[in-house]
Structure 1
Amino acid sequence: MSERAAPFYCPYCGDEDLRPSEAAPAAKGTGAAWECAACNRAFRLAFLGLLASGLTPTPGATPGAAPEEER
């Protein structure tokens, strides 16, 4: 099984002309490097982890915001 995640489009310009970057090999745990031929940018994709199962967001909470302290 390959550890390389394949993007469908460039996160910067949206073009689909992407190629694996051989000039910048991915170090272990840093994600795969990709090059966009349209905007001439290089970027990496990385797996961050699994979300905890069974947890549901609090209604009205902002994703990624720190929880309020108990009073």
Structure 2
Amino acid sequence: MSERAAPFYCPYCGEEDLRPSEAGHGAWECADCNRAFRLSFLGLLASGIARASASPSHEGGDGGADGS
């Protein structure tokens, strides 16, 4: 299994001088703005799947109404 991706820039100042923090997994430190932050994965959104499947059927209904 591969490692998780590292952040490319600080979410506060936008600089790229980031280092892993000793505070634990997912914790990072920015040397430019002197801030520490943590990244974590919360989970998948079940509602996102429902919206994606509802959109094509809704668009198909509009297309039939225009053709009549």
Q: Is 1:35 the equivalent of 2:35? A: no
* Aligned amino acid, residue 25 of structure 1: G
1:1-71 alignment, distance < 5 Å: 1-2=2-3, 4-22=4-22, 24-26=23-25, 32-52=26-46, 54-56=49-51
Unaligned runs of 5+ residues in structure 1 are 27-31, 58-71
| Matched length | 50
Q: RCO greater where, 1 or 2, for CA within 8 Å and sep 6 or more? A: 1
> In the alignment, residue 18 of structure 1 is paired with which amino acid?
L
After superposition, what is the alpha-carbon deviation per residue over 1:21-62, rounded to whole angstroms, capped at 9, x for unaligned? 02x123xxxxx10000000000000001012253118xxxxx
TM-score normalised by structure 2 residue count: 0.62
Question: Root-mean-square deviation (CA), in Å?
Answer: 1.9
Runs of 4 or more off by more than 2 Å in structure 1?
A: none
Give the C-alpha shift of residue 12 in structure 1.
0.4
Percent of matched pairs sharing the same residue: 74
Matched residue SS, 1:35: strand
Give the greater-gyration-radius structure (CA).
Answer: 2
